Chain A
Amino acid sequence: MSDLTQHTLLELQSQLQSGAISSVELTSTFLARIERLNPTLNAFITVTESQALAQAQAADAARAAGTAGPLTGLPIAHKDLFCTDGVLTSCASKMLSNFVAPYDAHVVRACQEAGMVMLGKLNMDEFAMGSSNENSFYGPVKNPWDLKRVPGGSSGGSAAAVAASMTPIATGTDTGGSIRQPAAFTGTSGLKPTYGRVSRFGMVAYASSLDQGGLIGKSAADLALGLGVIAGHDPRDSTSADQPVPDYTATLTDSIQGLKIGLPDAFFDERLDARMQARMEAVMDAYRALGAELVPVKLPHVAEAIPAYYVIAPAEASANLSRFDGVRYGHRADSPADLTDLYERSRGEGFSSEVKRRILIGTYALSEGYFDAYYKKAQQIRRLIQQDFTHAFTECDLLLSPTTPSTAFQIGAKSDDPVAMYLEDIYTVATNLAGLPGGCFPSGLVDGLPTGYQLTGPAFSEARLLNAAHQLQQTTDWHLATPEEITHV
C-alpha cells in the first residue's frame, strides 16, 4: 500500500516514529483526500485545514526536540458535538449552525495534549438523534461502500470518514448504538466504552445517562491506542469514573484460549437476516478456532430495551435541549413579538422534525399523570435489563451478538418511518441502558456490503473486549476489506 491514508493508526505511528514520514506530510495527504472525497461523501461539516497544519508542524517540532509522545502527529477528526474552542460546533443542527464553541471538550483537549492533529469536525444525525445520518442540517452522509446507502448513525460522518480513509481514526458518541451501528454499516471497528470511562464534559448532551464518547477506527488495535488517550477521570464530569486507565495495547496479544463467550438467545431471533446469521456463524467459528468457548445465555428482558430506551432517552433529551432558547447563543428567531414567540419560533425553526418529535415524546413521558406509566416504568425495566446482564456475566466473559439486523439500507428507505428507524437499534440499546462497554467489528460482506458483530462486556472490561476483537482480527481479514475507491466526483 503506497497510499498513506490506507494505513492503520498503528502503522502510521511507527512510520512517524521511524522518521519515514512527517506529520505535516501525513496531515497534508489526509487533507487532500478529504478535499477530493468530501463533496461526494459529505462526512465532514468543517475541515480545519490551517489549524491542522499548524498542529502538524508543532508535532514535527516536538519530535525533532525529542518531546513527542506516542500519539504525537497522528491525525484524528471529531464528531461535531464535541466542543472545539474557536471552531464551529453545530451538532448538525440549524440551532447551532452559528455556534463557535468558546471552549474545548475534555476529549478534544485530551487528543490535543497527546499531540494529535485535528483534521475537522464530522457530520452526524442532528443532536445524535438518528440511525442513518440523514437527519443533518448539512445533508446526509453517503456510505462509501454504496453512495445510495446510509452510513448509519448518528456517528455516520465518523464511520464514513474512517471507511473512506479520510482520517485514520475518529471520535464518535453512542447513546443507543450510534458508534456500533455505523461501524457495522461501513466495515469499520467501533468502541463504545463503559459509561463513565470517557468524560462527557464538552460533549453536547443528548441523553445524559446513556451518552458515551468513543472511537471508530480501522482495527481493534487502533481503538486500543486511541482509548488510552481519551479515557480517564475528569472531575468536571460527576459521572466520570475514578478508575485507573490500563494500557489497552499491552493486553491485545494475550491468548483468548478458554475465554467464555456468551450467545444471548434474544439477539439471534427471527429479525436477523439469514445471510447475517451466516456471518455470525463465521465469527463463532473463528472464535472457537482461537480456543474460546461459546455458551448460550439468556437476557430475558432485552426485548423491552427499545421501548424503555425510547422513553428514557427522549425524557432526558427534552430537558437537555431546553437550553437552546435563542437567548445566549445559537439560532434566534427574527423580531420576536414576545418572550413566548422568541422561544417557540427559535426552537421551532432551529430543530428538525425528528428532534422535535423526541422532545415531545420526552416532555409527554415526564408530564403530570404519565410519569409513572412511562418514565418510572422505563427506569424499572432498565434495572431488570441490567440485572440480566449481571447474571449473564456470571456465566461468561463477553457477549457476542449481531450489531444490526441487516446491512446498510437505502437513503430514504426509513426516513419517514420513525418506528422502523428506531428498530435499527434493536441489538445495541440494551448495552447503553446497562452502561456497559460494547464494540462492533467487521464480520465480512453480504452482497458487497459490510456486516459487523458486537461484543459486550462487563463494566470496565474494555481491555478484554479489545483483546478478543484483536485476536480475531489476527486470524481473519474482514476488517481489511475496504470500499472500492471513489474516482468519479
Chain B
Amino acid sequence: MALTAHDIQRTAKLARLGLTETETESTLEKLNAVLELIDHMQTVETEGVAPMSHPLDLTQTLRADAVTESNQREKLQAIAPAATDGLYLVPRVVE
C-alpha cells in the first residue's frame, strides 16, 4: 500500500505536525520504504490469534481513593511558556 502526498498531509493534520513542502516530499519517499518493510507482516497467518497489548500477563491494581497531591502551581507553571493569573494561555479558541 503506497502512500500519496495527500495521505501524508491528512496524517500530519491528524497528528498536528507542521511539515514543510520539502519535508512532505522526502517523508513520502522514506515512509513508503518503511511501509514496504512493514508490509512483510501481511504474509503471516494470524487468524484467531489474540492481539497482545502487554508483554506481562498481569492485571491492573487499583489505587485507594485518597487525595495525595497538594497545590504545586507555582513550581509547575514556572516552566510554562505562557501563563497568567494561574491559567495556561493559548490563542483564542472559538466554539
Q: Could you list which residues of chain A lie within 8 angstroms of chain B, going by C-beta atoms?
A: 98-100, 102, 195-196, 209-210, 235, 238-239, 241-242, 301, 303-304, 306-308, 310-311, 318, 322, 325-332, 336-345, 347-349, 351, 353, 356-357, 359-361, 363-364, 367, 373-374, 376-384, 386, 417-419, 422, 432-436, 459
A310-B38, A459-B56 given as contacts; is B90 within 8 A of A339 (CB)? yes
Minimum distance in angstroms from B28 CB to a CB of chain A: 10
Cα separation A102 to B60 with both chains bound (whole Å):
27
Cα separation A307 to B80 with both chains bound (whole Å):
38
Cα separation A329 to B42 with both chains bound (whole Å):
40
Q: Verify A422–B37 contact, CB threshold 8 A.
A: yes
Q: Verify B55–A380 contact, CB threshold 8 A.
A: no
Chain A residues whose C-beta falls within 8 Å of the C-beta of B88 in the assembled complex: 327-328
Closest to A436 in B: B55
Q: Verify B8–A377 contact, CB threshold 8 A.
A: no
Chain A residues whose C-beta falls within 8 Å of the C-beta of B35 in the assembled complex: 361
Question: Could you list 25 examples of A-B contacts with CB < 8 Å?
Answer: A102-B79, A304-B41, A306-B40, A307-B40, A307-B41, A310-B34, A328-B76, A328-B80, A338-B92, A343-B16, A344-B16, A348-B18, A356-B19, A356-B23, A357-B27, A357-B31, A359-B15, A360-B12, A367-B14, A373-B42, A380-B46, A382-B52, A419-B37, A434-B55, A436-B55
Q: Verify A384–B46 contact, CB threshold 8 A.
A: yes
Q: Which of the residues A337, A351, A432 comes within 8 Å of B91, measured between beta carbons?
A: A337
Minimum distance in angstroms from A391 CB to a CB of chain B: 15
Chain A residues whose C-beta falls within 8 Å of the C-beta of B53 in the assembled complex: 209, 379
Given contacts A238-B61, A342-B90, A363-B11, could you give 6 more A-B pairs where the C-beta distance is less than 8 Å? A307-B37, A326-B81, A338-B92, A345-B18, A359-B17, A377-B46
Q: Verify B39–A307 contact, CB threshold 8 A.
A: yes
Closest to A238 in B: B60
Docked complex: B74-92 residues within 8 A CB-CB of A? 75-76, 78-82, 88, 90-92
Q: Which of the residues A304, A308, A349 comes within 8 Å of B18, measured between beta carbons?
A: A349
Interface SS, A side: helix
Which of A100, A195, A303, A344 is packed against the most chain B CB atoms within 10 Å? A344
Cα separation A318 to B42 with both chains bound (whole Å):
22
Chain B residues whose C-beta falls within 8 Å of the C-beta of A331 in the assembled complex: 81
Closest to A383 in B: B52
Cα separation A454 to B38 with both chains bound (whole Å):
25
Q: Verify B37–A304 contact, CB threshold 8 A.
A: no
A328-B88, A361-B34 given as contacts; is B51 within 8 A of A383 (CB)? yes
